[in-house]
Amino acid sequence: MHSTLIASAAALAFSLTAHAARSTDSGQRLYRTGLLSTGAPVRATVEGDVAVTGRQLSCATCHGQSGMGSIEGRKVVPPIAAPFLSTARPLRSRARPPYTDAALIRAIERGVDPAGNTLDPLMPRYQLPKADAEALVGYLRQLSAKPSEGVEGKTIHLATVITPGTRASERAAMLKVLETFFRQKTANAVDHRSRQITSWPEFYGDWALHVWELHGPPNSWRRQLEAQYRAQPVFALVSGLGGDSWQPVDDFCQARQLPCLMPNVDTPPALGDGGTARYLSGGTAVEAAAIASRLARDGTGSVLQVVGKDAASERGADALADALTRRGTDVRLTTTRVTDGEAIARRARELGADALVIWLDADELGPLGSGVSVPTYFSATLLRGDLALARALAPTTGIVAQPFEPASSAEVRFRRVGSWLASGAIPSTPDVRRIQDQTFFALTVLSEGFMHMKHNLLRDYLLEGVDHFSGLENFSAYYPHLTFGPGQALLSKGCYLVSLRDENHPEWIVP
């Protein structure tokens, strides 16, 4: 009998835990997507009597996934994260006491706070079944209730990831920038605490850098990253260095809901909006979109594209095919993997190609042959910004798709970062300047993000802050056309097309 009672109690406890987990999941889905537990979109009224329905009614649309609120036009959307709901709040009319569960449901459904104040008319008055209302309240009670993982006391743990096959010079350059920046931040934090200065929230906490170097094939990286994370959870990934593949790292970040800020990856994975990674540019994918735009504008009939061996080359070729299809052009696209210059020229003549698109890096790219006289597009990403070989092969017909700033203007804009490097006695050579600049920019964005968060150290809140930044393009020498937006993975949306016949007047295209 005794063992039966124990078993029954254990079964009941398990059932209650499972029910609580399902309720939390249901509340989270309602909060983030505006979908009820049945899968139907939530219904509500706004502005008194305007009936609305759909996913745009999700709480996160206005209050953010963190629940920390936002600014919508001239409207300040207040925070509804757990710490703010559970404490009293002074208001212009009547001070609001802490929310009880019943008061929360009344506010959600009727738009009245615990003090009897009427909420803004733009705040939807939701029509919720009892179970969904309770699930939403349960989720709000734990939303952003404590700092995200990776924060221990005054220490904020951050990691950078380095994949196999990266260049030793770039690895050293990136790490030197990271280590110097972290050392300065921590020194400032100690100094401000010792002087009891509290007006500089960006200096809150000691930044601890963890370097996660991966080894072996990409299919083993996820396991390595999980092991590193279990040993020491981190708040975010900052910068990083990747070669052919970054997909396993991106997958890890999405699964862990871990911010990943501007790794040095020339061609990031295929991305949708709403993830936790932010990349500077789409690399060969955005190059392909810009080339497709030019081909369509010029009325090009037949194109031969040459694909190399690495993933960035494959990505560019696939993206070009997709971009031409989406545009509905009549361009006939033929793909070849022949990389011998004479064979490429012969194939182009056989097809009567009006243009060539070369997705080859400097090691693969050889003489094209004397028979090529059509516009020939090259990838600056694959050539690593070195246009000398493209000039030698197609001095009058060559066009380079380049998603970062041309060297001449980048050199001028680099002076800001160069001064910081010089102050830290960090050497800088042309072959690593873009890595140094991109790494410094990622750290600048992270620092601004911490200033925005103050002491509310929440990953979602960091990303929400980053997504609303403006003016930060002034801190990037190589990407001066940056736009931030909610959930947008790519900050630079365009690409230069540089005619080798007139390199001083590149065309900027936003596909």
pLDDT in tens, 225-265: 999 999 999 999 999 999 878 999 999 999 999 999 999 99
CB count in 10 Å sphere of residue 94: 12
Q: Write the pLDDT tens digit of every residue in 77-100.
A: 899 999 999 999 887 767 889 999
Q: What is the pLDDT of residue 235?
A: 98
For residues 298-313, average pLDDT: 92
Q: What is the pLDDT of residue 473?
A: 82
- DSSP reduced 3-state for 426: coil
50-53 vs 75-77, strand pairing mode: unpaired
- DSSP reduced 3-state for 127: strand
- DSSP reduced 3-state for 393: helix
**pLDDT level of residue 370 (50, 70, 90 thresholds):** low
Most confident of 41-55, 340-354, 427-441: 427-441
Q: Which residue has the higher pLDDT, 130 or 190?
A: 130
Torsions phi, psi for 162 (to 5 deg): -125, 120
Residues with Cβ < 8 Å from 477, sequence gap 6 or more? 405, 410, 411, 413, 414, 416, 417, 433, 437
Q: What is the pLDDT of residue 196?
A: 54
Q: Write the pLDDT tens digit of every residue in 90-141.
A: 877 678 899 999 999 999 999 999 999 999 888 999 999 999 999 999 999 9
For residues 29-44, average pLDDT: 93
Q: Are 218 and 248 in contact (CB under 8 A)?
A: yes
CA angle 34–64–206, rounded 5-degree value: 145
Q: Are 138 and 23 in contact (CB under 8 A)?
A: yes
Q: Are 117 and 152 in contact (CB under 8 A)?
A: no
Q: What is the pLDDT of residue 201?
A: 47
For residues 415-420, average pLDDT: 92
What residue spans of 332-414 are helical by DSSP H?
341-351, 388-393, 407-413
Residues with Cβ < 8 Å from 104, sequence gap 6 or more? 85, 137, 140
| Bridge partners for 210 per DSSP | 159
Q: What is the pLDDT of residue 243?
A: 83
